[in-house]
Structure 1
Amino acid sequence: MTTTEDETWVPEACTLPTAERPLRLAEFDDLFTTALRDQRRMSATALRWDLDPAAEALARDLTRRESGCCSFFTFTFHPGDGVLRLDIEVPAAQVAVLDALGARAAAGLRP
């Protein structure tokens, strides 16, 4: 997938400079391939990721920065026994963005 194809789902509400978007996508891809253990769709507007707890600092930093440029995201962490649960929610108007993020995560999910 090319950078242009990757960015077709980036909403106008995103304030991250265009030049930085491929880097942010790479950071999410890295999180998916190294720490994502499971993904579930909780509702049309919500996803849940189970992450390796060792990735907590990285995941918190990445989601904090993502919230800074795409303020419609709500990221909620739930540390647990052997897993770090991360709930991601968006308003109904941003479901396409959540769909794309979920598809990208699924592509990086280790079997």
Structure 2
Amino acid sequence: MTDDSWVPDACTLPTAERPLRLAEFDALFRDALRGVDRLSAGHLRLHLDGRAEPVARDLIARESACCSFFAFELARPAGDTLSLDIRVPGASVAVLDALALRATAARGR
């Protein structure tokens, strides 16, 4: 999935860098995703392999810097599992929908 037409204008990441960022999310999902829970329209929880913590922290820090509508929270609820909560306001639910779709697609590979 390479179409980034769902990326809102509020995203300040330069257009040329967007495919690279999407590829980073896809790699995180492919390599570390263990589960996906949609807790509400504006709240997605990803369960990640704990070994991906440095990569996840770096990625969400950079994403927070360019897309202020995202709220990320990374926690280690049990052992070697990470929980990444992603929240967006109502106006950005379509962005979260697209991210959830990417995660689900990567998990199915």
TM-score by length of 1: 0.93
Return the alpha-carbon distance in structure 2 between the equivalents of residues 18 and 110 of structure 1. 28
More helix by share: 1
Residue 110 of structure 1 and its aligned partner are, at CA, apart by: 4.6
Residue 80 of structure 2 aligns with which residue? 82
The answer to whether the 8 A contact 1:37-1:110 is kept is no
Classify the secondary structure of the residue corresponding to 1:14: coil
Which residue type is aligned with residue 71 of structure 1? S
Residue 57 of structure 1 aligns with which residue? 54
**Alignment RMSD, CA only?**
1.1
TM-score by length of 2: 0.95
What are structure 1's unaligned runs of at least 5 residues? none
Return the alpha-carbon distance in structure 1 between the equivalents of residues 40 and 83 of structure 2. 16
- In the TM superposition, what whole-angstrom CA distance separates every residue of 1:9-49 from its partner, at most 9, and x where no partner exists? 00000000001001000000000100000000001100000
The answer to whether the 8 A contact 2:26-2:106 is kept is yes
More strand by share: 2
The answer to whether the 8 A contact 2:51-2:80 is kept is no
